[in-house]
Structure 1
């Protein structure tokens, strides 16, 4: 009987690992060939500053987006696909070394994932944000709506989140279109406001929900800031100041052939100001009028804090608070997810205590171009800091979880 039980446990673990493999062996996994060790995980071939390395924690995570850490447990929001109801919430215990567990299934396009001080998780789904106690048995019984009434359609229905130290929750409300084009893909009427910016809540905005206002219907909230096409990366400084990385529009050359789609417009790093308007869809870059709205007065919109490379597609941001990774303390880490030359890398930006840049972003993880038999093209999305100061990086297209860590000296013989 004991032998039968042991065999059943091994069979269950094997079936689980058909979909998820953690603590992967030093062989090709998730498209990566590994060689050597990176602080206890198989090392992958990526460029980092001296003294740092990247290890492969897990593969087979399907469409890994948000990542969060509570204690020694790692949580990953697996969106599954862009189809509704295919998402999961995963737990990787023992810092990613334990057997993975599926906590929730049939979730609708999960994306943002942040831990709360009381050991729960806030999970962004299409149309709502939920709270879940991952230690509950079962976790599904502990799901609670926190924010409802968010739009769940259009080009950008995914909820990005940031939790401020005072408990305030910042939520992205992405635009329904690329640049307010009509249903037949024709240009909008330049004499009228973009209809989706007049909704409740307006598309292309960021909401702020006070801790004592939860739960709340988003349709009752005024936007904290607007004119932000798709703020897929949000963070809050220790003083509560919100930061945003904004994905700018595509195909500007189709509206004006004299403009280069490769060079314009820039994605944006900005420090959000309450009641500020950042211009989308009427303006882009440094107060330039969009081709569809040539007569709009862009002098009245907010100036971007920092222009990032065009089409870098920043999807994740972390204010690094540890000291284990040299040279990164207090810096903003950013994932560039884009498939063009400006994307597939992780960058680090020095800021002051107000969030203002002190120079330009610098490469942190790069050399992520596809190399057959060595690595896939990078697809970084989420970032999370572990208690030991290492940084987790989730990848959606590759279905992997990576870990940026300090190189440990080899043990003496």
Structure 2
């Protein structure tokens, strides 16, 4: 595997936030009318916190803490008027709901108006904007809310776009993306680690056929323009993806997804893998989605050292030499250190950042828990250069310092979602502390 880039110097302790949880959960906030109407937005600028909100960034970039204390903030989007919408799974429950609208009306890089809405007992990960609708995952379904000009918070009841999405097993998040034609690509992560007869049990063989591939471990495609669609195996678009939490579409219409690699190679197969090898395998991935494409899970994993897919030990793999049917599986666009957990990807389509960032992908790494011999890694945002749907250089760490002084074993913040605002600013959400950063380029 390509050696990891030198870890950036830890940032100073993260500053306290100015927004209270009471405001987030629906209490009156200056500038936000009781009916949910936001005040007219002030002109955006590139103000920054003195310590960049605790982040370490490349020269020329700076950040503010846009909001804090949002609970389990997952993915987010930014509307053309600058309103930020967040899907806050497991936010502290209230009558206000688990979706959050935030707006900066003063132009200082901080949300001064904020209100929760939607299903107070719902929530999820996925969220998207398409036409005049806000789409959001809510447990086993994707719903949409009609947006009207001048209203940050939707007033009408949501419509169901898709229902019956699987919820059992290891991976229950349903992140999604919508392209310009209205194709809605949704992740249905695997119910197991590696489709074993007994999940996560040492020495248990893999099932062949892996029956869960009929309904899990891939990307499904639906029509964002239609309502009342019901999940079925027939809408599967691509397979062999254990858990694609990040999905995004570039300006040319190409759809990318991140792949969470499988766990426990050493723990379940110590006769084939050392603890050190279990730490470094398998690589995390960025893939280019193709209709009918097969990316190998559970039969194969991507070995970053060898830069190829090899047979998993559950399927007669020998620790990394045997390839077998993995020759037929699609390779990734780019690979990253094992177990970093890529939770979102955003192709930069703004104009504010320097030209080198245009068309490349930012990836939010949630951070590891199972690098067997340690240390744990990730907890950062990296930038992967892209050109014509392929990697055009090595990734670099773009934003670091999320874990805070407690380090990765007690991370204060874990990057989860990414969004690009209409002015080109990059927003990063965190589902540990419920914080959102706004990153800008000042030159």
Match of residue 157 from structure 1 = 172
Q: For this pair of structures, how many residues does the alignment match?
A: 376
- Identify which of 426, 430, 433 aligns with 1:398: 433
Structure-2 change in CA distance of 1:238 and 1:106 (3 Å):
same
Report the Cα offset of residue 14 of structure 1. 7.4
Q: Does structure 1 retain, via aligned residues, the 8 Å contact 2:195–2:206? A: no
Structure-2 change in CA distance of 1:191 and 1:366 (3 Å):
closer
Q: Does structure 2 retain, via aligned residues, the 8 Å contact 1:234–1:245? A: yes
- Identify which of 63, 69, 72 aligns with 1:60: 69
Residue 288 (str. 1) matches residue 310 (str. 2): yes
Match of residue 398 from structure 2 = 364
- TM-score when scaled to structure 1? 0.82
Match of residue 330 from structure 1 = 359
Structure-2 change in CA distance of 1:86 and 1:172 (3 Å):
farther
Structure 2 unaligned regions, length at least 5: 1-18, 31-44, 303-307, 318-323, 369-374
CA distance in 2, matches of 1:41, 1:279: 44
Residue 75 (str. 1) matches residue 85 (str. 2): yes
CA distance in 1, matches of 2:57, 2:284: 23
Report the Cα offset of residue 232 of structure 1. 0.3
Moved more, 244-253 or 297-306: 297-306
Q: Does structure 2 retain, via aligned residues, the 8 Å contact 1:133–1:139? A: yes
Match of residue 305 from structure 1 = 333
SS in 1 for 2:266: helix
Residue 125 (str. 1) matches residue 138 (str. 2): yes
Match of residue 31 from structure 1 = none
SS in 1 for 2:267: helix
Where in structure 2 are the equivalents of 1:5-404 lying within 5 Å? 16-17=22-23, 39=47, 43-70=52-79, 71-80=81-90, 88-94=98-104, 96-118=110-132, 120-135=133-148, 139=154, 141-182=156-197, 185-186=200-201, 189-190=205-206, 192-198=208-214, 202-211=215-224, 214-219=227-232, 221-257=234-270, 258-259=272-273, 260-285=277-302, 286-294=308-316, 297-326=325-354, 327-339=356-368, 341-353=376-388, 355-371=389-405, 377-404=412-439
Q: In the TM superposition, what whole-angstrom CA distance separates every residue of 1:83-135 from its partner, at most 9, and x where no partner exists?
A: 9x9960011123653221111242434111111122x2111222111111255
Q: Does structure 2 retain, via aligned residues, the 8 Å contact 1:332–1:351? A: yes
CA distance in 2, matches of 1:134, 1:89: 14
- TM-score when scaled to structure 2? 0.77
CA distance in 2, matches of 1:368, 1:137: 29
Structure with greater strand percent: 1
CA distance in 2, matches of 1:138, 1:39: 26
